[in-house]
Amino acid sequence: MRRLMAGDTSPDLDQRLELLKVFLEEADFNRLRRESEEHLLRGRRVKFLLSGSPPPGQWNVEMTVENQA
């Protein structure tokens, strides 16, 4: 968002924003919440990495869990 607000019009940014839009429209947030909740309750840091391409159904999300030190 920072790059977009600064006026960046690169094709890479457009593609990443379109991927994010498709993900937000299609993702099962209840499932993502269920999968991460146990880790969060134990004080672990949970990250989701979004990858893929913008067409509907062409994305993937990977969850990683880190122990808090």
- Measured from the Cβ of residue 36, the count of other Cβ atoms closer than 10 Å reads 16
Q: Residues 20-69: pLDDT tens digits?
A: 899 999 999 999 999 999 999 999 999 999 999 877 778 999 999 998 65
Query: Would you state the pLDDT for residue 64?
Result: 95
Query: Would you state the pLDDT for residue 50?
Result: 93
Closest CA to 18 of 56, 63, 62: 56
Question: Where does the pLDDT of residue 2 fall: very low under 50, low under 70, confident under 90, or very high at 90 and above?
Answer: confident
The number of folded domains in the chain is: 1
CA distance 58 to 14: 16
Query: Would you state the pLDDT for residue 48?
Result: 94
Structural domain that includes position 16 = 2-66
Which helix (DSSP H) or strand (DSSP E) does residue 12 occupy? helix 11-26
